Each structure stands twice: as C-alpha cells, then as structure tokens.
Amino acid sequence: MARVYDMAYMRDRLVPLSEANLSVTSSAVLYGLSVYTVFPVEPTPQGLAAFRLHDHWDRLVNSSKIIGIDTFATTWTYEKFVAVAQEVIAANTPTERVFVRATVHVDASVAGTRSRGLSTAMSMFVYEASPIVPQDGCRLKTSVWRRTADDAIPSRAKVNGAYVNSVLAKQDALDSGYDDCLLLDDEGHVCELSAANIFIVRNGTLITPGTSSDILEGINRRTVLGLAAEMNIPAVERTVDLTELYLADEAFACGTSAFIAPVKEVDARMVGNGTPGAMTMRLRERLAAIQHGDDSLSATLLTLL
C-alpha cells in the first residue's frame, strides 16, 4: 500500500486527510460519478515540478464533458487548478517523487442516475510514487473480462466507476499468479492493461493499439509517440492482435503509475528473450530524463510547483 501524505484538498480548502470525505448519499459514492487524473511531481534542479500538468487538466475537463458533468468547467480554471496543486504540494513538502491524484466528484445528494446540473467537489491528495507493475519485467495474463466499449462506458473518460472493469481484470490476473492483465475488446483485439497502455516492438517498429481500440488516450502514451518521432523510431497506431504480443521482439507498459515497464511474459509465453529490450530502455531513459528536468524538452513539459 502506498503511503499517503497528511494534508489534502477538499471543497475549496486544505484539510487533514481524515477530513477529506464525501457523503454516502453523494452521486460519487452511489454511482462512481467522479472523474480523475494522476500526475507525477518530483524534485528537479529547478525545484518540484509536475509533468504535463496542462494535459492532466484537459483530461479532467474532457472526461467531465464526455459523461455530462457540466458544472465543473464553469467554476474552475487551469490557473486555479495549478494554484491548488501548489498549495497541496507546499502543505505536504515532499522530498521524493510523488503522485498527485485530482478528482472531480459529483457530490449532489441522492440525485438519481443523471449527471447534468449537479454540484461538484474537487479533491486532491499526495501519495508516494510506487509503480503499479514490476519495473524489471512484468508478467501479463489475457483477461477473461473484456474491456468496456466506447458505447458502454467510454475509455476516453477517466471515470472512477468504470474502473470496476479494471479491478475485475487485474484481480483475476493476480489470482492466477501474474502481475497484471491484458484487456481485449469485444472483437478480441488488444486494448491495454488494467491502468496502463501497451506498446510492442516488431522488426524495429514501435506499435500500439489505436485510439479506436477502446483505450484510454494516455498522456504518457502520447509522450512516447512524440519521443519516437523525435528519436526517428518508426511508430504505428493500429489494431493489434493478441498473438502479435506472443511474437513481439519487445513489449512495455506505460502510464503515470506504470512508468515505462518492460513486459517479459504474456500468457506464459516469453516476450523476446525475456529481458528489457533496447528500444524500451531508450524510451524509458529519455522519459525519466525529461521528468527529472535533465532534458531539452523538460522546460516545455514540466510545470514548477
């Protein structure tokens, strides 16, 4: 279990973590009607900095829009979001890399199964940046549960309630002795892990499921594709079959909480030679340098807090 820092933000003020609560009658509790994002903050030579903070703000706004939460964007701005993030970080004074989870909750009481015109509350808390999968090579199991489709609960919206799908899939993988799951769509194509995107390498080309494959359009996924273009690595977004992972030269998961994690096994089949691949490690090292403030892209992708 990750350690959570003592002070949190809830309903326009800082409070002790124990007081950052929602009513059991709220739509967030009754129906999982909240949207969230998680962004990393870590020490850099310039000070504590958040990675791609504006993109995380956009994720909250866009997720709210997709599921019909229409009061959030009328009361919050990006500038207010940054100010609250600064306040939360200052109150907790982390000296290590941490994650910050920001959530927009629909806190209207017993409002029924609807989303529009309802009050919202922002929460924000800080916790240690423990990766959700092993960083030296994770083992994946294709899930017996299918990924929720865009016409059921859209993956583009990072909705709290939708993560029951991920919980079912990952728990099945853990129960079977694996580190995480691999979710497929209704047609049997590869989507993602329980909470991370997936990439493979075949014959020198970086391949990842396209945005029409019921995936979360991950911020780190976008970063990896951008880095590939800059580093002259051929990259393709397309439909991916499960058996392509069995034949891949390399595979890796990526996401805020997964970092870039090599995949060494899928369904008891070794990926490549079972060790982190050269392309995986090149991209991993480059992303780490950016987030540490040691890369030419750091100035444009980091926000000092």
Give pLDDT tens digits for 84-105: 999 999 999 999 999 999 999 9
3-state secondary structure 254-288: EECCCEEEEEEEECCEECCCCCCCHHHHHHHHHHH
Q: What average pLDDT does this structure show over 43-54? A: 97
User: What SS3 class is residue 50?
Assistant: strand
pLDDT tens-digit map of 161-197: 999 999 999 999 999 999 999 999 999 999 999 999 9
Domain locations along the chain? 7-128, 138-291
Q: Which residues share a beta bridge with 121?
A: 105
Residue 71 tokens read as 């009061």
Hey, what CATH class is 7-128 in? alpha beta
What whole-number distance in Å separates Cα of residue 15 and Cα of residue 1? Answer: 22
pLDDT of residue 124: 98
CB 190, CB 245: distance < 8 Å: yes
pLDDT at 254 (0 to 100): 98
Check residues 1 and 56 and name the one with the higher pLDDT. Answer: 56
| pLDDT for the residue numbered 222 | 98
User: Could you say which DSSP state residue 17 is in?
Assistant: G
Please provide the average confidence, as pLDDT, over all residues in the chain.
97
Q: What is the pLDDT of residues 100-148, one digit of tens each?
A: 999 999 999 999 999 999 999 999 999 999 999 999 999 999 999 999 9
Mean pLDDT, to the nearest integer, of 29-43?
Answer: 98
138-291: CATH topology: D-amino Acid Aminotransferase; Chain A, domain 2 (3.20.10)
291-300 average pLDDT score = 97
* Euclidean distance between CA atoms 197 and 216, whole angstroms: 7
Q: Tell me: the pLDDT tens digits for 236-288?
A: 999 999 999 999 999 999 999 999 999 999 999 999 999 999 999 999 999 99
pLDDT of residue 171: 98
1 pLDDT above the threshold of 90? no
Contact between 205 and 224 under an 8 Å Cβ cutoff? The reply is no
For residues 230 and 189, what is the distance between their CA atoms, to the nearest angstrom?
Answer: 28
Percent of the chain at pLDDT exceeding 90:
99
Per-residue pLDDT at 104? 98
Burial of 47 (0-12, 13-18, 19+ CB in 10 A): exposed
Which residues in 73-106 are b (16+ Cβ under 10 Å) and which e? Answer: eeebeeeebbebbebbbeebebeeebbbbbbbbb
Q: What is the pLDDT of residue 46?
A: 94
